[in-house]
């Protein structure tokens, strides 16, 4: 926690970067289990890494539309939370299955929302936490592009019983403006604190944390 802001640092692939994130004040460490990501960490690699991770921050598996077997393997591997990115066209029954499997308190839903679309009312009971990332037609996350901060503020105000995480293109340079415009109390940073995909930059991380607290 930095001031009253919770921080997740995502896209980690090494223990050294996880320690740097923890030193910067991360409450959550994210590991991307999606093979198409340039920050992909295979589950076997995660299992080797886990004993060297810093104590304290919670561990988040980031997945894209997982099947139940895949989800089951991730949960069994010791993650505290599962963040699932998915197309808005995924049937509700599939999302309900994710929720039944993890329980709503461990599930972070990250719907891929076209600009004109809001979080569907039917998804809300499935998870306690929602992550709003920038829409980009060609992918699921890690775009490095900023999103619609007013839309985030609207969702947060309309459903204040949920935890809302702001993601998408956050950097040391824009995070203070993003917090002010969105009202977010929980941010997720990824490519904005990297030297290259999957490799974090300690100087950017500490500047990001400083600006979160400013």
Ligand X SMILES: O=C(O)c1ccccc1N[C@@H]1O[C@H](COP(=O)(O)O)[C@@H](O)[C@H]1O
Min CB(7)–ligand X separation in Å: 12
- What is the signed CA dihedral for 34, 40, 44, 49, rounded to 10 degrees? -130
Residues that bind ligand X (rule: CB under 6 A) add up to a total of 27
Cβ closest to ligand X, residue 63 vs residue 126: 63
Residue among 7, 26, 85, 107 that touches ligand X (CB under 6 A): 85
37 binds ligand X (CB under 6 A): yes
Strand segments, DSSP code E, in the chain are 6-9, 28-32, 58-64, 81-87, 107-112, 129-132, 163-167, 186-189, 194-196, 199-200
User: Is residue 169 within the footprint of ligand X (CB under 6 A)?
Assistant: yes
189 binding ligand X? (CB under 6 A): yes
Q: Residues 28, 34, 98, 186: which binds ligand X (CB under 6 A)?
A: 34
Tokens 């990501």 identify what position?
A: 37
Dist. CA 78–CA 191, nearest whole Å: 25
**Rounded least distance, CB 192 to ligand X, Å:** 5
Residue 111 interacts with ligand X (CB under 6 A)?
no
CB-based contact 98:75 (threshold 8 Å): no
- Which residues have a Cβ under 8 Å from the Cβ of 41 and sit 6 or more positions away? 12, 13, 31, 32, 33, 49
Q: Would you count residue 66 as binding ligand X (CB under 6 A)?
A: no
Determine if 200 is a binding residue for ligand X (CB under 6 A): no
Binding residues for ligand X, rule: CB under 6 A, are 10-11, 30, 32, 34, 37-39, 62, 64, 85, 131, 133, 140-144, 167-170, 188-192
């Amino acid at each position: 926690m930095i001031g009253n802001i919770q921080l997740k640092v995502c896209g980690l692939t090494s223990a050294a970067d996880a320690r740097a994130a923890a030193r910067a004040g991360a409450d959550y460490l994210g590991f991307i289990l999606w093979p198409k990501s340039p920050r992909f960490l295979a589950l076997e690699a995660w299992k080797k890494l886990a004993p060297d991770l810093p104590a304290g921050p919670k561990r988040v598996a980031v997945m894209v539309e997982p099947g139940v077997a895949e989800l089951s393997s991730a949960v069994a591997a010791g993650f505290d939370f599962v963040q699932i990115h998915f197309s808005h066209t995924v049937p509700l029954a599939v999302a309900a299955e994710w929720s039944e499997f993890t329980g709503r308190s461990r599930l972070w839903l990250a719907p891929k929302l076209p600009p004109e679309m809001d979080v569907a009312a039917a998804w809300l009971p499935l998870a306690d936490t929602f992550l709003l990332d920038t829409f980009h037609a060609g992918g699921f996350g890690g775009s490095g592009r900023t999103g619609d901060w007013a839309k985030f503020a609207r969702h947060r105000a309309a459903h204040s019983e949920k935890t809302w995480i702001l993601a998408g293109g956050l950097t040391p340079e824009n995070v203070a403006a993003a917090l002010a415009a969105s009202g977010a109390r929980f941010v997720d940073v990824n490519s904005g604190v990297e030297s290259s995909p999957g490799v974090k930059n300690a100087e950017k991380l500490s500047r990001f944390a400083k600006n979160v607290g400013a």
